[in-house]
């Protein structure tokens, strides 16, 4: 006869796993607080001090230092994603949508510059010899933005009966352009305020998008509200880039 599962043992395992995940989340939040205080070069001892535990106990909940770093990166970007979530709903024009996204990201990164530098330092794809099979939180974040933009462009072109090819590469290129520009500005502001830089970046992004659509015979009013259905399509979890 097959061996029956032990409900007492299974219950203990479930409770332990739940407790482990809670403690892991607490340690990640402590690490973020330590980064805010000590900068992106924060030491494990400083993180452990914020968590109120010895260093060895901290690592019981992570598969080494790299696992802790990636968990912190994911949580940092979850916070930024939460701030962006309300923007994706309808009622905004194309320029208002782009401006809201850019302003939110720029101001968030300005207020949390240590967290941004931590992301740049510990992003899996940015480290020499970094393992490419491990999830890269920053790549996931920028990829999500690019997929949403690609879906929006594709829907606009489909409604106009135009060629939809190339929306994916264009969307990922726009996001890469914005990411590089923001990174450069944070490193060397060159006397531009956040408002001035954000406005210039919005103009650059809209120029790329408008030219792409115009080449396909689509003229979009940058100040006209987007249809609610169009915004909803951007939030479709099944949406994928070309």
Per-residue pLDDT band at 215 (split at 50, 70, 90):
very high
Question: Residue 124: what pLDDT?
Answer: 58
Question: Residue 12: what pLDDT?
Answer: 59
Tens digits of per-residue pLDDT, 71-116? 999 999 999 988 888 887 767 888 999 999 999 999 999 999 999 9
Provide the mean pLDDT of the chain.
83
Residues 6+ apart with CB under 8 A from 55: 44, 45, 48
Q: Give CA–CA dist 78/84, Å, rounded.
A: 10
DSSP for residue 41: T
Residues 6+ apart with CB under 8 A from 234: 88, 148, 149, 151, 152
Question: Residue 239: what pLDDT?
Answer: 47
Tens digits of per-residue pLDDT, 127-183? 444 444 344 788 888 998 999 899 889 989 998 999 999 999 999 999 999 999 999
As a whole number of Å, the end-to-end CA separation of the chain is 52
Per-residue pLDDT band at 123 (split at 50, 70, 90):
confident
Structure tokens at 75: 């949580």
Q: Give CA–CA dist 47/50, Å, rounded.
A: 5
Question: Residue 24: what pLDDT?
Answer: 86
pTM of the model: 0.80
Which residue ranges form the domains of the chain, and what is each CATH number? 1-62 (1.10.10), 75-234 (1.10.357)
Q: Which helix (H) or strand (E) holds 47?
A: helix 44-51
Tens digits of per-residue pLDDT, 24-61? 899 999 999 999 999 999 998 999 999 888 888 887 88
């Amino acid at each position: 006869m097959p061996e029956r599962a032990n409900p007492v043992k299974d219950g203990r395992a479930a409770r332990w796993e739940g407790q482990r995940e809670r403690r892991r989340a607490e340690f990640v939040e402590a690490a973020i607080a330590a980064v805010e205080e000590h900068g992106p070069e924060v030491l494990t001892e400083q993180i452990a001090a914020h968590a109120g535990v010895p260093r060895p106990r901290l690592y019981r909940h992570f598969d080494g230092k790299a696992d802790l770093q990636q968990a912190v990166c994911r949580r940092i970007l979850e916070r930024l994603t939460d701030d962006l979530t309300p923007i994706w709903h309808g009622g905004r024009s194309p320029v208002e949508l782009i401006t809201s996204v850019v302003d939110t990201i720029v101001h968030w990164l300005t207020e949390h510059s240590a967290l941004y530098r931590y992301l740049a330092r510990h992003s899996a794809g940015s480290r020499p010899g970094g393992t490419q099979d491990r999830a890269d939180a920053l790549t996931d974040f920028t990829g999500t933005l690019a997929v949403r933009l690609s879906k929006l462009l594709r829907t606009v072109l489909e409604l106009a009966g135009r060629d939809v090819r190339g929306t994916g590469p264009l969307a990922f290129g726009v996001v890469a352009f914005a990411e590089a520009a923001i990174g450069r500005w944070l490193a060397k502001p060159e006397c531009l305020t956040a408002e001035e830089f954000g406005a210039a970046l919005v103009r650059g992004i809209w120029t790329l998008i408008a030219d792409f659509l115009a080449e396909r015979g689509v003229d979009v009013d940058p100040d006209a509200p987007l249809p609610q259905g169009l915004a909803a399509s951007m939030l479709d979890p099944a949406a994928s880039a070309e």
